[in-house]
Amino acid sequence: MRNAPKLWTPQFLAIVVMAFLFFLCLQLLTAGFPAYITSVKNDPTQAGLMTTVFMAAAILTRPLIGYMMQKINMKVISTAALILLVVSVGLSYEQDSIAVLLSLRAIHGIGFGIVSTIFATMATTIIPVKRLGEGIGYYGMATSIGTSVAPMFALALLQFYSYNVMIIFSVILTIAALLLCFFVKAPEMIVSENETADITLKEYVFDKKALLPCILTVFFTITLGGVISFLSGLGNEAGLKSVSLFFLVMTIMMTVIRPFSGKWFDKYGHKVVIYPAAISGMIALFLLSITHHTITLLVAGVFYGISYGIVTPTLQAIAVSFVERHKQGTANAMFFSSMDLGMAIGSTGLGMLVSVTSYHFIYGFSILSIVILLFLYSIGFAKAEKEYEVVENQ
């Protein structure tokens, strides 16, 4: 590693910190809104709808981001989106109207779709090619830590303080990310005028080379949607008062595994990490489906943290490596849209299912999603390795 290109530049560090703050804020609301609505309206379906509207708005927004980044400086776009989020999150203060909250969640989703895609593209653009897996691993660790500790903070704030305190905390986090954004220099997308002229809007929106890892991401994040949205319901059903500890354990495991999994990906390839990580996720979901004790819940957090900490950044690294460098924005947009789609399906579908079954049942049922992931991965990459040639970034 003596001759390895430098990864931890000041710019990369700043982007990682911004990503952590941003994901902590948005996922705090993603976990907090369903819990708040459930306590007020006692309707799991309406609670899941809060996440679905948020994710749907992000999904509809992201396809245009790859094109916008070729026309407008990334820093300008991300700054405007962060300001929009500060205002819209602030307007959620003291709101209990479902219609108003759904409208605001749609705006949150638009901002999330823009900023998450641009931050990821900033990161993947400046990460050295030979350390892509490691770099995305560290960047993904920041976003995943924010995502996983957010539910713990959300539940704690709702339990010990109030919904309004959660909103204030979210606004502060967004402002912090906004201030830090002013000190980051957005990298220029590497594309010649001839290439720009030849690329259509459709090609900036979609790249079939990144499709397979994005489909796999959908199936994994279906389970993530269930974990984030309904773990508090599982705790009530099982008589557990410390469900927030699940997210703490999950975060610790992700933090521990991420640096290693990224290096393993760069050195040995994705097969070495995907199979054990997927199996770890299946074990976690099985444990959640039978848990009635805190120790079982925490062990499930260990296995799910390992799984989530490996699967998502690995699939993102695959998607980015399959496309040309100037199409990384497109690949990132597709990847995050697939995450949003999976979480939306998980939140809504499992929310509807839990209304007629139980919280324990939906986690056992979610194992099927990872089984499908492994099946598609096995047959898909056997074909993809013959059809695609991973593009080395220049």
137-192 residue pLDDT tens: 788 788 878 877 887 788 888 888 888 899 999 999 999 999 988 888 776 654 55
325 within domain boundaries: yes
1 within domain boundaries: no
17 within domain boundaries: yes
351-368: average pLDDT: 91
Average pLDDT, the chain: 83
196 sits in the region (left: phi over 0; alpha: psi -120 to 50; else beta) called alpha
Nearest-10 crossing angle of helices 294-321, 211-238? 170
- Contact, 140 vs 316, CB < 8 A? yes
For residue 198, what pLDDT is reported? 53
Cα 84 from Cα 280, distance rounded (Å): 38
327-332: average pLDDT: 80
- Whichever domain contains 336, its CATH number is 1.20.1250.20
195 within domain boundaries: no
48 within domain boundaries: yes
For residue 123, what pLDDT is reported? 86
For residue 388, what pLDDT is reported? 46
Half-sphere CA count of 270, side-chain side, radius 13 A: 24
What total of structural domains would you count in the chain? 1
SS (H, E, C) the chain: CCCCCCCCCHHHHHHHHHHHHHHHHHHHHHHHHHHHHHHHHCCHHHHHHHHHHHHHHHHHHHHHHHHHHHHCCHHHHHHHHHHHHHHHHHCCCCCCCHHHHHHHHHHHHHHHHHHHHHHHHHHHHHCCHHHHHHHHHHHHHHHHHHHHHHHHHHHHHHHHCCHHHHHHHHHHHHHHHHHHHCCCCCCCCCCCHHHHHHCCHHHHHCCHHHHHHHHHHHHHHHHHHHHHHHHHHHHHHHCCCCCHHHHHHHHHHHHHHHHHHHHHHHHHCCHHHHHHHHHHHHHHHHHHHHCCCHHHHHHHHHHHHHHHHHHHHHHHHHHHHCCCHHHHHHHHHHHHHHHHHHHHHHHHHHHHHHHHCCHHHHHHHHHHHHHHHHHHHHHHHHHHHHHCCCCCCC
96 vs 154: which has the higher pLDDT: 154
For residue 282, what pLDDT is reported? 96
Cα 52 from Cα 125, distance rounded (Å): 30
For residue 50, what pLDDT is reported? 78
What domain range is 136 assigned to?
10-187+201-387
With cut-offs at 50, 70 and 90, classify the pLDDT of residue 390.
very low
Report the amino acid identity of residue 345. Answer: I
2 within domain boundaries: no
56 vs 176: which has the higher pLDDT: 176
**Exposure pattern of 21-34 as b/e (b: 16+ CB <10 Å)?**
bbbbbbbbbbbbbb
Q: Which pair of tokens denotes residue 127?
A: 């990460």
256 within domain boundaries: yes
247 vs 391: which has the higher pLDDT: 247
Residue 124 contacts by C-beta under 8 Å, 6 or more apart in sequence? 132, 135, 136, 139, 320, 328, 332
Cα 302 from Cα 95, distance rounded (Å): 36
380 within domain boundaries: yes
Rank 34-38, 306-310, 331-335 by mean pLDDT and report only the highest: 306-310
